[in-house]
Amino acid sequence: MRAALLASPATPLVMTDIECADPGPGQVRVRVTHCGLCHSDLTLIDAPEGLAPIILGHEAAGIVDAVGTGVSTLAPGDHVMLSPFGPCGVCYWCVRGETVHCAAAMSMFTGTLPDGSVPFSLEGRPVYRGLGVAGFGELTVVAASAAVKIDPDIPLEVAAVIGCATQTGVGAVLNTAKVEEGATVLVMGLGGVGMSVVQGARLAGACRIFASDPVADRRNAAIAFGATDLLDPSTTDVVAHVLEVTGGVGVDYAFDAAGAGPLVEAGLAATRTGGTTVMVGAPALEHTVTINPAVLYLTQGKKLLGCLYGDCNSQREVPRLLALWQTGRLDLEPMITARRPIDEINAGLDDLRASVGIRTVFNLGV
Ligand SMILES: NC(=O)c1ccc[n+]([C@@H]2O[C@H](COP(=O)([O-])OP(=O)(O)OC[C@H]3O[C@@H](n4cnc5c(N)ncnc54)[C@H](O)[C@@H]3O)[C@@H](O)[C@H]2O)c1
Ligand SMILES: [Zn+2]
Ligand SMILES: [Zn+2]
């Protein structure tokens, strides 16, 4: 099968013929039709000491091609959304309902399947399986629990975008922060993830949604997703503005959806006493966050929450997000601002580096 391969760290991706194994027990092989581009892919592509050779792409959907032994929930021809997290169902975290922390799913960070193997090879050498999906290739192998069956009427590009951006952003609001009606919210960073946080805040019934991004096109696009106040952090002191507009109180919830240590600190400064900051973005490993302990207790009692994949169990989350989309309460098509054949992956990466559009979805053909 053809895949956009990162042959060595920090180099352009190259379309390459790769061998893809049959699915093992409990696994399915999927013909990927669409895969969105998330900033986490870019971070791994640009990492000087990242895993390679690797097939990245973790926001994907497609059609089941073959099922391994013991798989009874899926059959060839089923349309599926692929989750980076295929929960085992029996580990310490799964039994507590925290499937994003499933011990087996952590193999997404080692570029392998949970048993340490990889389904891909190039001239006999193993190729890593990026972020649990490897959606930049025409075929992939995932645990059956990571493939969420969807109605064949649902456009697969829409299902793809739910794969990471929507689950992460909407989940950060509904599952991680549990924003309530009438709340005030600040969203910093308006890419696919941040726009989904804005949409999640709208779904939750937030009364005021401050949206901050240095890119004017993204700020303006945020209005249609529910933002009420637009802020340009390159010309406005976002924290001071939010405090002033809220009468010195601060917002109930702040979200870093850009991935920067200083934005986590800004969130803590912009939230009210007792308010909540959620770190949705993925700051570089060398970033640090400085917190005066008094901010978390004494008279302030603020809360800082981490957030992996919006705390979503995809088998539960995808049907409800699709239902919200079908009833017009979640806008998914406008998130897709570019559609490209997978051969144009490097041009799509350049667009993301320049914050052009919101989400690019690559078409891998059927
Ligand atoms: N927690 C998770 O599980 C999870 C999942 C997916 C993505 N992520 C992370 O979320 C972040 C966003 O992903 P994305 O795909 O939407 O990225 P993106 O690059 O499309 O969007 C990031 C946006 O942040 C803006 N930004 C930069 N500096 C800013 C500042 N000081 N204030 C406000 N905005 C600023 C950029 O202009 C850009 O529009 C990335 O760090 C990504 O790795 C985390
Ligand atoms: Zn992602
Ligand atoms: Zn588990």
Q: Which residues are bridge partners to 20 per DSSP? A: 120
Is 348 close to ligand 1, i.e. is its CB under 6 Å away? Answer: no
- 135 has pLDDT over 70: yes
Instruction: Band the pLDDT of 298: cuts 50, 70, 90.
Output: confident
Confidence of residue 365 (pLDDT cuts 50, 70, 90): confident
Residues surrounding ion ligand 2 at CB below 5 Å = 38, 40, 164
d(CA 133, CA 164): 11
Dump pLDDT digits (tens) for 50-72: 999 999 999 999 999 999 999 99
Q: Is 8 exposed, middle or buried (0-12, 13-18, 19+ CB in 10 A)?
A: exposed
Bridge pairing between strands 59-67 and 79-82: antiparallel
Contact of 164 with 89, CB cutoff 8 Å: no
- Each residue of 204-258: pLDDT tens digit? 999 999 999 999 999 999 999 999 999 999 999 999 999 999 999 999 999 999 9
Q: What three-state secondary structure class fits 227?
A: coil
Q: How many CB atoms lie within 10 A of CB 19?
A: 13
- 0.95 surpassed by pTM: yes
Buried b (16+ CB within 10 A) or exposed e, 264-300: bbbbbbbbbeebbbbbbbbbeeeeebeeeeebeeeeb
CA-CA distance, 182 to 204, in Å (whole number)? 8
pLDDT at 203 over 70: yes
> In the structure encoding, which two tokens stand for residue 57, read together?
């792409």
What integer pLDDT is reported at residue 223 of this predicted model?
98
Domains and CATH numbers, the chain: 2-153+332-363 (3.90.180.10), 169-309 (3.40.50.720)
Of residues 236, 280, 219, the one with CA closest to residue 255? 280
Summarize the confidence of residues 129-140 as an average pLDDT: 97
Q: Best mutation site among 35, 37, 38, 353 for ligand 1, i.e. most ligand atoms within 8 A of its Cβ? A: 38
Ligand 1 atom 20 nearest Cα: 191
How far does the centroid of ligand 3 lie from the alpha carbon of residue 91, in Å?
Answer: 4
pLDDT tens digits, 247-283: 999 999 999 999 999 999 999 999 999 999 999 999 8
Which band of pLDDT confidence, cut at 50, 70 and 90, is reported for residue 286? confident
Return the pLDDT at 106. 87
Closest ligand 1 atom to Cα of 37: 15
